[in-house]
């Protein structure tokens, strides 16, 4: 692993922007903030692959885009595969002397659908084969580009266009989300030496994790929570606030898995009740006490499974 230069404070964060003003993302868009911070951390020698999703459609409307570095579209299905091909091509062309390029940072920016639903196969295969690619799952917890529909990252109890609440289904979404870190970094993909969760609300941590992932030779995975004011239904100015609250209540955990060793990046002193988080978002406004209790039990179990040793709220 090459040594990544770490950023210690906001003051040290690189000035140079590679994700520029001028994109059709929502006011207060969490994923756009993630893109900006990731591009900033990665720097000039970077190629982005953008599978279909909000960060494709909103960023490239129309016949233009906000990236100062090379960017290419991939289908929502094949971000991992297109990334693999690009990486293999650079490796071989450099080896043969056909091009004089320095091997670039190759980053796939997949949404939750493009990472763990329809794009899962390509992502998994890319990691299995050990391509030197950073696979970022920017997680806004729904298929947002199509107008907010459920994905395997949508939390239990959230309303989406495909999971409305009604008398027959009072809790709206019935399933609990997939765990991408367990899927990709739980030992099933031996080439993945580095995986981490991050949040746009912790930008220094996020940027350093990008650099760490890029410094590792081989695939790395980054799961970034990106609050989505449209999909979650909250005022656009609260994006960062909600990302922080998610961590305070345990709807998001910040940790790294480096060579199989888990390390929490930040832990609250105690978890706040999940209800405090649910109240802030329209997508949870229909939930009844029994649903909230079910969600609290899930949060508590997840905290325990991860080994978070802080006081947990009671399940009522």
Q: Between 1 and 161, name the residue whose CB sits nearer to another protein.
A: 161
Contact 112, 67 (CB under 8 A): no
Within the chain, residue ranges assigned H as helices are 30-42, 54-57, 79-96, 112-116, 120-128, 180-185, 203-215, 229-232, 239-249, 275-278, 289-306
Q: Between 88 and 182, name the residue whose CB sits nearer to another protein.
A: 88
The C-alpha R_g of the chain, in whole angstroms, comes to 19
Work out how close the CB of 212 gets to another protein at its nearest, in angstroms, rounded to a whole number: 19
Work out how close the CB of 40 gets to another protein at its nearest, in angstroms, rounded to a whole number: 9
Tell me the HSE value of 136 on the side-chain side, using a 13 A CA sphere: 34
Count of C-beta atoms within a 10 Å radius of residue 222: 28
- Round to the nearest angstrom and report the end-to-end CA distance of the chain: 47
Q: Between 233 and 267, name the residue whose CB sits nearer to another protein.
A: 233
Q: Between 226 and 312, name the residue whose CB sits nearer to another protein.
A: 226
In angstroms, how far is CA 148 from the centroid of its own chain? 17
Work out how close the CB of 107 gets to another protein at its nearest, in angstroms, rounded to a whole number: 12
Work out how close the CB of 55 gets to another protein at its nearest, in angstroms, rounded to a whole number: 11
Q: Between 58 and 251, name the residue whose CB sits nearer to another protein.
A: 58
Work out how close the CB of 101 gets to another protein at its nearest, in angstroms, rounded to a whole number: 7
Closest CA to 144 of 31, 253, 312, 47: 31
């Amino acid at each position: 692993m090459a040594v990544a230069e770490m950023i210690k404070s906001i003051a040290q964060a690189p000035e140079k922007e590679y994700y520029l003003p001028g994109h059709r993302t929502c006011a207060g868009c969490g994923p756009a903030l993630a893109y900006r911070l990731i591009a900033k951390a990665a720097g000039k020698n970077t190629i982005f692959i953008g599978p279909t999703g909000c960060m494709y459609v909103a960023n490239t409307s129309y016949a233009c885009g906000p990236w100062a570095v090379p960017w290419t579209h991939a289908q929502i299905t094949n971000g991992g595969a297109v990334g693999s091909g690009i990486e293999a091509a650079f490796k071989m062309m450099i080896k043969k002397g056909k091009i004089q390029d320095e091997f670039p940072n190759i980053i796939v920016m997949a949404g939750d659908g493009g990472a763990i639903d329809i794009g899962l196969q390509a992502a998994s295969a890319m990691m299995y084969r050990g391509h030197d690619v950073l696979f970022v799952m920017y997680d806004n917890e729904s298929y947002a580009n199509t107008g907010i529909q459920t994905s395997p990252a949508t939390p239990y109890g959230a309303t989406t266009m495909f999971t409305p609440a009604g008398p027959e289904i009072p809790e709206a979404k019935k399933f609990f989300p997939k765990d991408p870190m367990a899927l990709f970094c739980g030992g099933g993909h031996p080439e993945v030496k580095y995986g981490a969760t991050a949040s746009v609300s912790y930008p220094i941590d996020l940027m350093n994790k990008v650099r760490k992932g890029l410094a590792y030779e081989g695939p790395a995975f980054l799961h970034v929570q990106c609050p989505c004011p449209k999909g979650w239904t909250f005022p656009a100015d609260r994006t960062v606030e909600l990302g922080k609250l998610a961590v305070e209540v345990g709807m998001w955990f910040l940790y790294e898995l480096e060579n199989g060793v888990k390390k929490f990046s930040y832990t609250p002193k105690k978890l706040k009740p999940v209800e405090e988080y649910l109240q802030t978002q329209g997508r949870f406004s229909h939930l009844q006490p029994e649903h909230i209790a079910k969600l609290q039990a899930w949060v508590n179990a997840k905290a325990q499974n991860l080994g978070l040793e802080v006081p947990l709220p009671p399940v009522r």
